[in-house]
Structure 1
Amino acid sequence: MKPGTGKAGQIILYIVLTVLLLYTLTPLLFLLLNSFKSQAEIVRNPLALPDEWTFQYLINAFASIHFPQAIGYTLLITIISVLLIVLVASPCGWIITRHKSGGSTFIYLMFVAAMLIPFQAVMYPLMNIMDALHLKNIPGLIIMYAGFGLSMSIFLYSGFFKSVPRGIEEAALIDGANIFQMFFRVVFPLVKSTTVTVMILNGMWIWNDYLLPFLTLGLSDQRTLVLELYYAKMTSGQFGSPWEIIFPSVLITVIPMIIIFLCLQKYFVKGVSEGAIKA
C-alpha cells in the first residue's frame, strides 16, 4: 500500500458516512422545522426556519390526536404484545435449538417461511375469523401482533441459543434446578442483547403500524396514535389547517420510539449482529 493511501481511504469513508447521515437526518429535520410553523409558513417555504418558535402547534396537535388516550392504548397494545412475543419466542427458539429432530427442523422452517408471507395475502380471511370470534378489538389486536411477531423473533433467538454452551444447562440441572428455573434463571439472562433486539424491532413495528389497527379498531373510539394521525386531517378544522396539525402530530408520535432506540441502541446492534452471524 502506498503511503497516504490509508488516510485517503478514511477521508472517503468519512465523506460517504457524512452524506448518509445527512440523508437519514434530513426527513427528521424537515419534520422538526415544520412542526413549529403555521400553514402559511409551510406552504411559503417548507425548508426555512420558523418565523417564531412557538409550542402552540404542538399543543393543538396534542388535542387533535387525543394524545393521552391514544398513547395509553398504544402503550397497552405495544407492551403486552412485545411481552407475549418474548415469553413465547424465547423458550420456543431454545427448544428448537436444543432438541434437534425432523419435527423441530420442520417447525423452524415453517416459522422462517412465515416471514416471507405478506400480510396483505392473509388479512381478509384473518379479519373474517377475528370478526366471527368477536375479537376485532384491543385483545384481538394484541393476539394478532403476538402471532405475527413470533417468526422473526424465534429466528433471532434460535441463532443466538446455538452459542450458549450446553454445560451451563447441565450444571443447573445437577444443582437441582427444574427446566423452568434452568431456562429463566440461567439461560434467558444470557440472551439479554437478543431480547432487547426483539423488543425494539417488534416494538417499533407495532408502534408505527397502521394497517392492522385500522382493520381492527378503525371504527371504534379506541385508536392508537397512528390511527389518530389518520383522523387528524378530518378534525383539523377545529384546531388549525391540516399541515400545521399533521407535522407536530407526527413529531409527537415518533419521539418516544426515537428516545427508546437511542437508549438501547448498543444492545440492538449487538443482538442483531450476534443473532445473524450465529444463525
Structure 2
Amino acid sequence: MSMKNRHVLGEAVRHLILIILALYTLAPLLFLFVNAFKSNNEIIASPVALPEHWTLQYIKTAMEAINFGKALGLTFIITFFSILLLVIVSSFAAWAMVRSKTILSNIVFLCFTAAMLVPFQSLMYPLLSVFEKMGLKNVQGLILMYGGFGLSMSVFLYHGFIKSVPASLEEAAVLDGANLFQMFFKVVFPLLKGTTVTVIVLNGMWIWNDYLLPFLVIGNKTGSKTLTLELYFAKLTSGQYGNPWELIFPAVFVTIIPIIILYIFLQKYIVAGVSEGAVKM
C-alpha cells in the first residue's frame, strides 16, 4: 500500500471514529427531542420511533405545568448575577495575585486551586446552617453560594492567562493617570475575552442545570422556583397534567434549550479559553 493510500485510509478511520463519537454524544439529545412530541402511549410503545403526528401540544402543556415563563425569568436572574459576581471577583482577584508576586499571594492561589478538590457535600450542612442564621436562604443567598463555589475554578483560569499579559501595558496606563480600577477594567480586562467567555459558559451551564443548591436553599417556596425545581415538583404532581412521560420529556427539552443556544454561539471560545488559562501556568 502506498503512502498516499495509507494517509487516505488513516483519515477515513479517524473521521469514522469521530462520527461514531458524535452520534454517541448526540443520541440522548435526539432521543429527548423525538419523545418531546409524542404521547405517553407512543413513548412506551416505541421510544426510538418518530412521532406519528408532530404537535406542539405536549410542549405547551409542559410549559404550563412548570410555569415556564416565571421559572425561566428567575433562573436567568440567578445565572446572570452569579456569573457577573464570579467574573468580576475572580478576574480581579487573579490579577491581584499575579501582580503581587509575594509568598502570600502564592499561598492564596494554592488555596483557591485546592478548593476545587473539596466536595460540596462536605460543606453542605454547615454552610446551609450559617446561611439560615444569616437569613440568606433565599435567591440572594443562592447567588452568593454560586459565586463562592465557582470562584476557585474561575480564578485558576484567569490566573494562568493574566501571566501572559505584559505589565508594561499597566505601567503605561498609570503614566496616563489611570487609577487601579481604570487600569484593570480598561486595560487588562478587555484582553481576557477568551477566558471570560469560558468562565461564563462553564459556570452558566452548571448554574442553569443545577438542582441540588436551589432545592436546599429555595425548596418549595411559592413563586421562587428555578426551572429544575419546577420540573421536579411538576413531576411529583404529574397526575393533574396527564401521564408523566409526556410531561417529563417536553419539560426537560424546553428547560435545556436556552443553555444549548448559549453553548452553540460561544463554543469556539471554550477550548481556546481553557488552554489559555491552563497552559500558561
What's the TM-score, normalizing by structure 1? 0.98
* Partner residue, 2:249: 247
Summarize the alignment of residues 26-175 of structure 1 with structure 2, pairs less than 5 Å apart. Answer: 26-175=27-176
RMSD of aligned Cα (Å): 1.0
Superposed displacement of residue 226, structure 1 = 0.5
- Partners of 1:180 and 1:189 lie apart in 2 by 13
Superposed displacement of residue 232, structure 1 = 1.6
- Partners of 1:44 and 1:185 lie apart in 2 by 60
Summarize the alignment of residues 187-198 of structure 1 with structure 2, pairs less than 5 Å apart. Answer: 187-198=188-199
Match among 233, 249, 254 for residue 235 of structure 2: 233
- Partners of 2:3 and 2:277 lie apart in 1 by 38
- Partners of 2:211 and 2:241 lie apart in 1 by 23
- Partners of 2:94 and 2:265 lie apart in 1 by 26
Q: Does the 8 A contact of 1:172 with 1:182 survive in 2?
A: yes
- Partners of 1:146 and 1:99 lie apart in 2 by 23
Match among 245, 259, 262 for residue 260 of structure 1: 262
Partner letter of residue 83 of structure 2?
A: V
Deviations 1:77-132 (A, max 9, x none): 00000000011000101111111111001100000000001101110111111111
Partner letter of residue 137 of structure 1?
A: N
Superposed displacement of residue 75, structure 1 = 0.6
Superposed displacement of residue 269, structure 1 = 2.2
Deviations 1:163-204 (A, max 9, x none): 111111111111111111111001100001100110111111
* Partner residue, 2:215: 214
- SS across alignment from 2:3: coil
Q: Does the 8 A contact of 1:74 with 1:207 survive in 2?
A: yes
- SS across alignment from 2:237: helix
- Partners of 2:163 and 2:75 lie apart in 1 by 34
Deviations 1:219-261 (A, max 9, x none): 3121100011111212222221101000000000100001011
- SS across alignment from 1:4: helix
Superposed displacement of residue 4, structure 1 = 2.2
* Partner residue, 2:13: 12
- Partners of 1:159 and 1:20 lie apart in 2 by 31
Partner letter of residue 148 of structure 1?
A: F
- Partners of 1:219 and 1:129 lie apart in 2 by 20
Q: Does the 8 A contact of 1:217 with 1:223 survive in 2?
A: yes
Q: Does the 8 A contact of 1:112 with 1:151 survive in 2?
A: yes
Partner letter of residue 141 of structure 1?
A: L
Partner letter of residue 233 of structure 1?
A: K
User: How many percent identity over aligned positions?
Assistant: 57
Is residue 223 of structure 1 aligned with residue 215 of structure 2?
A: no
- Partners of 1:8 and 1:237 lie apart in 2 by 55
Q: Does the 8 A contact of 1:58 with 1:249 survive in 2?
A: yes
- Partners of 1:92 and 1:157 lie apart in 2 by 9
Of 83-92 and 166-175, the range deviating more from structure 2? 166-175
Partner letter of residue 211 of structure 2?
A: Y
- Partners of 1:80 and 1:2 lie apart in 2 by 56
- Partners of 1:275 and 1:23 lie apart in 2 by 29
Deviations 1:148-176 (A, max 9, x none): 11000000000000111111111111111
- Partners of 1:72 and 1:41 lie apart in 2 by 32
Superposed displacement of residue 2, structure 1 = 3.2
Partner letter of residue 228 of structure 2?
A: V
Q: Does the 8 A contact of 1:160 with 1:278 survive in 2?
A: yes
